[in-house]
Amino acid sequence: MITKKIKVLILAVFITLPIYAQKVTDVSATKEFFEYSPDFQWRQLKGNLPEKEDLVFDVYWKFVKVGKGTLEIKGFEEINGRTAYHIYSEAKSAPFFDSFFKVRDTNQSWLDTESFCSLRYLTNISEGGWKKFEQLDFNHENKRFARNDDGTMKYGDTVQWVQDVISSFYFLRTLDLEVGKEYCFDAHSGDDTWPLKTKVIGRETVKVDAGTFDCLILEPFLREDAGIFKAKGKLKIWVTNDDRKMPVKMKSKIPVGSISAELSTYKSESKIKQEEMIAKEVSSEQQEFNIE
């Protein structure tokens, strides 16, 4: 059951830490669902999210490493005519635990670059012998959601500018966080929408494998009956006390101890683009060599 706790922790802090065998389904929302009137006004917010980012976490139960989590911003993509950050995350159990309970979970979110609300959320879950696919799309003018749940479509009401469980954390990163203050916005999971509250409870210097960071400590208030946000006990998240608000550490107490996730490596936007440029140059040189 330890590996199940891995997923609970990372999902609970908004980041369910290459897609494996993604379940294919041809069921999707109607074309009319995605239509917006020409005079609809999207809200305009300013944020400081990078175009690209790559974070890798080690996940521990007490002092035992039980898995890894990744959290990435892969760049910009177009979703129904809107430019969005493509956010991707993965939770993977360690090889030792694969033998009796293999976890390969992926989650993706598309966050509108102008209004910083969720446009789409997609999850593929593979845990032991259990698999699940879900896709959520949001129409912010009509305040509606469309949900593909393992091939079954469902429509329902939500609120304008709603977040999914991944975009929630990234939206939080765009806010000016201050110790002692509480922040609240609407989040959606499954068929439910609710106000998600997070309080900044302190400041602390944190040392992990990726380095030493001056951090703010966040404490989200999780509902025990809110789908994947189902969690018991307190959860704490440490983010860098700067414009990035990069997650560095997460910790959750459970009946048999505690689960934590610590940043092991990270790549900034400039580093990723530099590597991409080098890879492009190498590829170009190889092609020229092959031609000759």
Span of 1-5, 61-65, 192-196 with lowest mean pLDDT: 1-5
Q: Which pLDDT belongs to residue 22?
A: 45
Q: Is 55 exposed, middle or buried (0-12, 13-18, 19+ CB in 10 A)?
A: buried
Distance separating alpha carbons of residues 53 and 55, to the nearest angstrom? 7
260 closest CA partner among 242, 281, 234, 240: 234
* Beta-strand relationship, 182-189 and 130-139: unpaired
Average pLDDT over residues 136-146: 97
Share of the chain above pLDDT 90, in %: 61
Whether the CB-CB separation of 17 and 66 falls below 8 Å is answered with no
Q: Residue 226 pLDDT more than 70?
A: no
Span of 5-19, 78-92, 255-269 with lowest mean pLDDT: 5-19
Q: Residue 11 pLDDT more than 70?
A: no
Share of the chain above pLDDT 70, in %: 83
pLDDT band at 256 (very low <50, low <70, confident <90, very high): low
Per 3-state DSSP, what percentage of the chain is helix, strand, and coil (rounded to 5)? 20, 50, 35
Q: Residue 66 pLDDT more than 60?
A: yes
Q: Which pLDDT belongs to residue 48?
A: 86
Structure confidence by residue, pLDDT tens digits, 165-188: 999 999 999 999 999 999 999 999
Q: Which helix (H) or strand (E) holds 285?
A: helix 269-291
Higher confidence at residue 234 or residue 64?
64
pLDDT band at 129 (very low <50, low <70, confident <90, very high): confident
Q: Which pLDDT belongs to residue 225?
A: 44
Q: Which pLDDT belongs to residue 227?
A: 37
Other C-beta atoms lying within 10 Å of the C-beta of residue 15: 28
Span of 76-80, 216-220, 224-228 with lowest mean pLDDT: 224-228
pLDDT band at 94 (very low <50, low <70, confident <90, very high): confident
Span of 193-202, 231-240, 259-268 with lowest mean pLDDT: 231-240
pLDDT band at 25 (very low <50, low <70, confident <90, very high): low
Span of 2-11, 152-161, 216-225 with lowest mean pLDDT: 2-11
